[in-house]
Amino acid sequence: MSEKVVTRFAPSPTGFLHIGGARTALFNWLYARHTGGTMLLRIEDTDRERSTEAATAAILDGLTWLGLTWEGEAVSQYQRAARHREVAEELVRLGKAYYCYATPAELEEMREKARAEGRPPRYDGRWRDRDPAEAPAGVAGAIRIKAPREGETVVHDLVQGEVRFPNKDLDDFIILRSDGNPTYMHAVVVDDHDMGVTHIIRGDDHLTNAARQTVIYNAMGWQVPKMAHIPLIHGADGAKLSKRHGALGVEAYRAMGYLPEALLNYLARLGWSHGDDEVMSIEEMIEWFDISDVNKGAARFDFAKLEALNGVHMRGMDDAALTDALLATLPYLPNGEELAARFDDAARARLLKAMPGLKDRAKTLVELAENTYYLTANRPLQPDEKAAGILDDAARATLSEVLKRFQGLEEWTAATTEAAVREFAESSGLKLGKIAQPLRAALTGRSTSPGVFDVLEVLGREESLGRIQDQID
């Protein structure tokens, strides 16, 4: 039987969970789900200068909002420093690593010499085979790995294929600094081994690290996990993704009104595909995703595509689920808290009833929220500029006639109000639009809305008649 797949997502808590990190987390999560395995979470907080509690909280919050769950507690890399030291010292005992006492001045001299000779700057191995008895008194050395000098280190990558690194380029890199702190390169290997990680899925900016990390695995006699280095995301212009392209934290996408399901669908399609399928549910992504299908080339982030896809997901959602999603998201939207406070039970019921007409007209929850204005507006409504322009004297005279007919209706539905308006249009010779437009402006304070007869039914008799009367007065 093959081993159980264990993936991990390992962000550095130096900022928000950005969109590239979210996609890496998604690919790890999908692959774990697809294979019946698990995903672990490790916070790589060894950089004490830049790591913050707030950033850790933002990363956990972003993953939770996206629904990317992990097994067990999040592991802090910093808290495992004693274990990292133990392995580095074990490598020295095994003769696979050594203490190096080169001074900063000596290291600078090596770099200068390499530059002058047109070579990449590398440590020259001067303490590699020296007797430890030669160590200068009272000086703490750094521990360096004995990297192989001949041949090459091969990374068998599930996305990039076989990648070969000449060992002469790897040099004896530091695994434990002279102050006793592990380097990132070393800590990652020890953590992945101890956590039982079988598959490392990360950005291809880590590909050169993979060779150095393989050297540590081999020195310890540990099995090297399978690796998959996924291409980075670029902006629509082909340049590396930056803030101006949308390299924002995922909380910014929540504030822009995107559904987590739509964002995950969009991110999954950045660098991976399943035939011509554009719109996918979470279940379909889990069923179809395989890491070996990820493309080698960089993917381009396109806001217009994300927005269109979000609209498709919104329209495909059950009305009650979308109503819940909107109400839950309101506090995160611009000016949303104020709007959230207006949704009492009656307004929530109206929202649910209005949802079929509302969701066809919006691509984001921000647009959807803006279109709910008429459901919670206090009388008398304050029409916007366009609606105010529609409500001239002729429009008010038309509204007076419509009001009389509405007052005589025994049953109040979209069908009965529509019949009354059509009958008035025929008898007065007015076009339907000439009646519907002022009616819409009076009822919603806007020049566009869902179907005006649906609006009448959602608002109910009393509220509708009151709003029309307000504009006549």
Would you state the structure tokens that stand for residue 282, as one six-digit string? 């979470």
The answer to whether residues 352 and 272 belong to one domain is no
End residue of a domain, out of 230, 253, 285:
230
Domain interval for residue 204 = 79-230
Would you state the structure tokens that stand for residue 65, as one six-digit string? 């909002």
Q: What is the distance between the alpha carbons of residues 436 and 438, in angstroms, rounded to a whole number?
A: 6
Q: Which residues is 203 bridged to in the sheet? A: 230
* CATH code of 443's domain: 1.10.10.350
Per-residue pLDDT, averaged over 188-202, amounts to 98
Angle of the 393-407 helix axis to the 432-444 helix axis, nearest 10: 90
Q: What is the pLDDT of residues 389-428, one digit of tens each?
A: 999 999 999 999 999 999 999 999 999 999 999 999 999 9
The answer to whether residues 143 and 263 belong to one domain is no
Give the residue numbers annotated as catalytic, written as ranges.
243
**What pLDDT does residue 127 have?**
94
The answer to whether residues 213 and 84 belong to one domain is yes
* DSSP code string of 91-148: HHHTTSEEEE---HHHHHHHHHHHHHTT-------TTTTS-GGGSPTT-PPEEEE---
Q: What is the distance between the alpha carbons of residues 414 and 451, in angstroms, rounded to a whole number?
A: 9
With cut-offs at 50, 70 and 90, classify the pLDDT of residue 275. confident
Query: How many residues are recorded in the chain?
Result: 473
**What pLDDT does residue 176 have?**
97
Q: Is 200 among the domain residues?
A: yes
The answer to whether residues 38 and 138 belong to one domain is no
The answer to whether residues 303 and 322 belong to one domain is no
The answer to whether residues 188 and 85 belong to one domain is yes
Q: Examine the pLDDT at 70 and tell me if it is beyond 90.
A: yes
**What pLDDT does residue 244 have?**
61
Q: Examine the pLDDT at 430 and tell me if it is beyond 70.
A: yes
End residue of a domain, out of 265, 290, 316:
316
Cβ(221)–Cβ(229) below 8 Å: no
**What pLDDT does residue 245 have?**
57
Q: Examine the pLDDT at 247 and tell me if it is beyond 70.
A: no
Q: What is the distance between the alpha carbons of residues 362 and 312, in angstroms, rounded to a whole number?
A: 10
Q: Is 380 among the domain residues?
A: no
**What pLDDT does residue 164 have?**
96
Please give the mean pLDDT across all residues of the chain: 93
Per-residue pLDDT, averaged over 214-228, amounts to 97
End residue of a domain, out of 230, 259, 288:
230
Q: Which helix (H) or strand (E) holds 56?
A: helix 53-66
Per-residue pLDDT, averaged over 296-313, amounts to 92
Q: Examine the pLDDT at 249 and tell me if it is beyond 90.
A: no
Q: Is 282 among the domain residues?
A: yes
**What pLDDT does residue 37 have?**
97
Q: Examine the pLDDT at 243 and tell me if it is beyond 80.
A: no
- Which one has a higher pLDDT value, 267 or 118? 267
With cut-offs at 50, 70 and 90, classify the pLDDT of residue 133. confident
With cut-offs at 50, 70 and 90, classify the pLDDT of residue 65. very high
Closest CA to 459 of 412, 421, 390: 412
Lowest mean pLDDT across 130-134, 202-206, 356-360: 130-134
The answer to whether residues 226 and 83 belong to one domain is yes
Strands, E, within 159-264: which ranges? 161-166, 174-176, 199-203, 226-230, 233-234
Percent of the chain exceeding pLDDT 90 equals 77
* CATH code of 187's domain: 3.40.50.620
CA dihedral 314, 318, 321, 324 (to 10 degrees): 70
Q: Which helix (H) or strand (E) holds 39?
A: strand 38-43
Q: Is 426 among the domain residues?
A: yes
Most confidently predicted of 2-6, 82-86, 120-124, 360-364: 82-86
Query: Structurally, how many domains does the chain consist of?
Result: 4
Per-residue pLDDT, averaged over 372-400, amounts to 92
Q: Is 392 among the domain residues?
A: yes
Q: Is 74 among the domain residues?
A: no
The answer to whether residues 107 and 213 belong to one domain is yes
With cut-offs at 50, 70 and 90, classify the pLDDT of residue 49. confident
- Which one has a higher pLDDT value, 72 or 119? 72
Prediction pTM value: 0.91
**What pLDDT does residue 237 have?**
76
Lowest mean pLDDT across 46-50, 226-230, 315-319: 46-50
The answer to whether residues 86 and 213 belong to one domain is yes
Lowest mean pLDDT across 31-35, 232-236, 397-401: 232-236
Lowest mean pLDDT across 1-5, 14-18, 174-178: 1-5
Q: Which helix (H) or strand (E) holds 153?
A: strand 152-157
The answer to whether residues 312 and 326 belong to one domain is no
Q: Examine the pLDDT at 1 and tell me if it is beyond 60.
A: no
With cut-offs at 50, 70 and 90, classify the pLDDT of residue 242. low
The answer to whether residues 24 and 47 belong to one domain is yes
**What pLDDT does residue 234 have?**
86
The answer to whether residues 86 and 219 belong to one domain is yes
| Annotated binding-site residue? 305 | no
Q: Examine the pLDDT at 246 and tell me if it is beyond 60.
A: no
